[in-house]
Structure 1
Amino acid sequence: MSDTITQHVVVIPYPAQGHVNPLMLFSHKLAQLDGFKITFLNTDFNHKRVLSALALADDDDDDGHNSSTSSRGATLIGPKKNISLVSIPDGLDPDDDRTDIALLCEAVLDNMPAKLEELLRNINALDNKVTCVIADSSMAWAMEVASRMGTRGAVFWPAAAAIFVLELNITRLVDEGLIDSDGFFTNKEQKIYLSSEGLPGLDESSIPWSCIGDLNSQKSIFHFVTKCTEYSKLADWWLSNTAYDVEPAALSLAPKLLPIGPLLESQGHGDSEAQFWAQDHSCLTWLDSQLPCSVIYVAFGSLAVHDETQLNELALGLELTGRPFLWVIRPGMSKLQKDEYPRGKMLSWVPQQKVLSHPSIACFVSHCGWNSTLEGLSNGVPFVCWPYFADQLFNMRYICDIWRVGLSFEPDEDGVVLGEEVRRKVEQVLGDENIRTRALELKEMARENIAEGGPSSKNFNDFVEWLNA
């Protein structure tokens, strides 16, 4: 194989499921090209989780896409077996809480740059020399490492372009006194407007770093974000998982940020092969037995947490709708007894893109992570929004206020979304033909962007041309 490799690209996601997924889909797009070899770099902790999920998937896999191990010890995946899965430490101890975002960010920045440089030097000595490093924008410190080694670099933004625009404007916002030097609003009543139209106003509840942990964590994450934004300026290219027709206003404010999305499994490369939990495909057979546009799909991503009281109210509300529902409950997330709900199917993890593209899905009760948001949009599925933290609250405003393809829940005075509220909002969304019409229009626009000759497709091809130049 070494004689045919013309590009060896190292891809580095931030160590969270919502970042790993789109970068793996992007890696698959590159790996389809002749002469391309991809080294996909996870943290040791997440690498083990991915390998465990792959091993379980291999037991049921008969399409020839399963994994194997190379003589170097890297796990090879993809149809051409030209994606190598490797890892380095994240700097945390085995028992540390990796859902503590501030702790994880600090450890990553303190420990991973030196480990990355060591890995790149080893690859260059033993394998096809690395020709480009593509890093998640939250791992943009890798651009400094790549630059020091004389290697080209690109950053990949996996969230809404509007949030990247916000981060690019941090210095201006501080200079104008809208936020202080630690990222906190100077006036709790104000809103920040990045554009006069096409973007929702940002209050303190929709600034990503203001929605994570306590005040110390928020301060720490803000400073991590500002550092990554500066590191991003070292990159030759800025790529993003969005589309011009999805975020026209935001992308007009950052012309260097080039959309190549939505990145979807349906673009010809199957499952992302980067899941932290094994996917249960039995849901697809179950969906086949349901009526068209009848099933409520409920999923809250890889990090959202709700207590048992709230989950019981959600279960009650789903039952009250009288509709079948498919509910993803991560391992250890709840003590709900799955056999208590005859209308529902509850599973630990599912192939979400296949689920959302299934004709039986009626709506998506979602935490509004960006991947879930794009996947819902790309399949014309209306939303009922239940954001948890970070950028999810901003994404909800896109869904409800700008695109108008969904509604949000209203909690009671104790902060609990009651079962009756669940029933009411689901029925309201499903009964609104305007929401359904707009959702289908957005689906078509999103799909046109990634079709051959579409703007996202053209941006991807331009990037490949640059790599090959």
Structure 2
Amino acid sequence: MADTANLQHSRSNGHDHHPHFLVVAYGIQSHVNPAQDLARRLASIDASVVCTLSVHVAAHRRMFPSLASPDEETTDGVISYVPFSDGYDDRTEPIPTEDESARSRGASFRSLSSVISRLAARGRPVTCIVCTMALPAVLDVARKHGVPLAVFWNQPATVLAAYYHYYHGYKDLIASNAFDPACEVTLPGLQPLRMQCLPSFLVEKTSIGLSKMVIDDFQELFEFIDREKPMVLVNTFNELEATTLVAMQPYLKEVLFIGHFARSSARARIHIFQKDKKSYMEWLDAQQERSVIYISFGSVLTYSKQQLQEIAQGLEESDRPYLWVVRKDGRDEEVESFLANNTDHRNGMVIEWCDQLDVLSHSSIGCFVTHCGWNSTVESLAFGVPMVTVPNWSDQPTIAYLVEEKWRVGTRVYRDDQGIIVGTQLAKEIDFIMGDNEVASKIRQRANDFKQKIHEEATRGEKSEMSLQIFAKTMIGLGKGSQSNLRAYKN
């Protein structure tokens, strides 16, 4: 990474005359990676475009642990990185509680406002803000500074549609049936969805804590979308959700799909967690083709001792080699004790973190036991790896529905009444997806078909790149300060 002084000598000079996109992302792995990818793609559209990615301080420090000053601005030669404070700079848990939310919003607003002022003082005024969802403070900042704003929806279009219709006439219907997981609701443009397949925050049995905070934040976001009509960029592929994207056009006229998957971009990929030093790639090299179970539940979910025991039992019952990611952060004493006393993994390897793209692209991987985060799902599809889905919260139940029922490239394990993945059920679904039965063979074939489709779409890139260029050119025009252009765009 170059130091701050070198930022003035980056790709082009005279930044005050150049379009400058400030991409603000929630500081968790699932938001940072697609936001970074979006910023780098915007920067590649034209040599005059400047892009800066901003996440909260705690995440920035983990992204760049070697900086002399941990909160300084830095660059990778293509885009810049500058942190903002959400009021909890030393936090290890990135998601604020309900009580912390108001304080965090105020701190984020003040800090991001300061970031915009500093960038302007350095000759790089921000001409457009792009924010990942669930960042209400960014809406305040855009209004205060009069900067055009776009929304980056880094979840599937199906989830966007579910939230949109929830806030536009379907809230009471969903709320009245939330206690019946098998009850179906038909939303405009979507196939019937069972309650257990909707985003978890929409069907929570209680309206307290994180669920209430998310519902309130998203309501504000959709009110902003209704009022200001910003461009909404959806991180999906036409091959995956073409019907849903078309169905959303009457409601969100400026919705664009910009899905992108390029293996070469992995070199610049940000890792908030340090990769395990164990030689897991060499271990994979020694395994037979399509024989290994890869299991990872992303960057937020942590394990209880009971859950670890159940998963370990399921993996042992399956009697297949496995690579299991159990992050170091969030482990309590019971979990540490369990892992310390169970170091003899007869069939597999337990690691703290890995380069998931390297793992999923390895020929030895036979299936992916996944929490169904959107990044993980798209990556699995892009490498043709069938999935055993174990969704937990947020958009994950909807993504699991897409994987199992719409795309038919995987199977699902349902948690018990305590939210636990039962080992015997996990083993059953792994054995099914890895087996020689006809249904599993068809699942593997469809997964490989999606691999080819995503590769072709990403290689050609006509539609998604055209969408991105339309967005960039529109926002560059707005960023020139023409009030007439701004009014014309919003009207």
Scaled to the shorter chain, the TM-score interval is 0.7 to 0.9
CA distance in 2, matches of 1:343, 1:418: 19
CA distance in 2, matches of 1:414, 1:453: 44
Trace 1:320-335 onto structure 2 (pairs within 5 A).
320-332=317-329, 333=331, 334-335=335-336
Paired AA for residue 179 in structure 2: K
2:427 is equivalent to residue 389 of structure 1: no
Cα distance change of structure 1 residues 250 and 277 upon mapping to structure 2, 3 Å threshold: same
Q: TM-score, normalised by structure 2?
A: 0.82
Aligned counterpart, 1:203: 195
Deviation at 1:227, TM superposition (A): 0.4
Cα distance change of structure 1 residues 441 and 345 upon mapping to structure 2, 3 Å threshold: same
CA distance in 2, matches of 1:145, 1:293: 49
2:403 is equivalent to residue 399 of structure 1: yes
Is the CA contact 2:390–2:415 (under 8 Å) kept in the aligned structure 1? no
1:295 to 292, 313, 321: 292
Cα distance change of structure 1 residues 328 and 165 upon mapping to structure 2, 3 Å threshold: same
Cα distance change of structure 1 residues 307 and 35 upon mapping to structure 2, 3 Å threshold: same
Deviations 1:271-294 (A, max 9, x none): 422x22112373223222222111
CA distance in 2, matches of 1:85, 1:354: 25
Deviation at 1:94, TM superposition (A): 4.0
Tell me the secondary structure at the aligned position of residue 240 of structure 2.
coil
Deviation at 1:398, TM superposition (A): 0.9
Is the CA contact 1:207–1:391 (under 8 Å) kept in the aligned structure 2? yes
Aligned counterpart, 1:259: 257
1:357 to 357, 361, 364: 361
Deviation at 1:455, TM superposition (A): 1.8
CA distance in 2, matches of 1:153, 1:412: 42
2:314 to 317, 324, 327: 317
Aligned counterpart, 2:442: 434
Q: How many residue pairs end up in the alignment?
A: 444
2:187 is equivalent to residue 194 of structure 1: yes
Report % sequence identity.
27
CA distance in 2, matches of 1:143, 1:89: 16
Trace 1:44-443 onto structure 2 (pairs within 5 A).
44-52=57-65, 55=66, 73-77=72-76, 81-92=77-88, 94=90, 97-100=93-96, 102-103=98-99, 105-139=101-135, 141-173=137-169, 177-179=172-174, 184-185=175-176, 188-189=179-180, 190-195=183-188, 199-203=191-195, 206-210=198-202, 215-217=207-209, 218-233=211-226, 234=228, 236-255=230-249, 256-261=254-259, 263-268=260-265, 270-273=267-270, 275-280=271-276, 282-332=279-329, 333=331, 334-335=335-336, 336-337=339-340, 339-411=343-415, 416-431=420-435, 432-443=440-451
Tell me the secondary structure at the aligned position of residue 364 of structure 1.
strand
Aligned counterpart, 2:38: 26
CA distance in 2, matches of 1:455, 1:370: 20
Deviation at 1:76, TM superposition (A): 1.7
Deviation at 1:464, TM superposition (A): 3.4
Deviation at 1:311, TM superposition (A): 1.1
Deviations 1:62-107 (A, max 9, x none): xxxxx8989x941222xxx232221121134745854455456544
CA distance in 2, matches of 1:227, 1:150: 18
Worse-matched range after superposition: 335-344 or 39-48: 335-344
Deviation at 1:4, TM superposition (A): 5.7
Is the CA contact 1:200–1:402 (under 8 Å) kept in the aligned structure 2? no
Structure 1 unaligned regions, length at least 5: 56-66
Cα distance change of structure 1 residues 19 and 319 upon mapping to structure 2, 3 Å threshold: same
Is the CA contact 1:211–1:389 (under 8 Å) kept in the aligned structure 2? no
Aligned counterpart, 2:4: none
CA distance in 1, matches of 2:86, 2:291: 43
Deviation at 1:212, TM superposition (A): 6.9
Aligned counterpart, 2:23: 11
Deviation at 1:155, TM superposition (A): 1.2
Is the CA contact 2:20–2:125 (under 8 Å) kept in the aligned structure 1? yes
Structure 2 unaligned regions, length at least 5: 1-8, 478-491
CA distance in 1, matches of 2:189, 2:229: 29
Tell me the secondary structure at the aligned position of residue 446 of structure 2.
helix
Tell me the secondary structure at the aligned position of residue 269 of structure 2.
coil
CA distance in 2, matches of 1:16, 1:213: 26
Tell me the secondary structure at the aligned position of residue 426 of structure 2.
helix
Is the CA contact 1:29–1:269 (under 8 Å) kept in the aligned structure 2? no
Considering fraction of residues, name the structure with more helix: 2
Cα distance change of structure 1 residues 212 and 97 upon mapping to structure 2, 3 Å threshold: farther
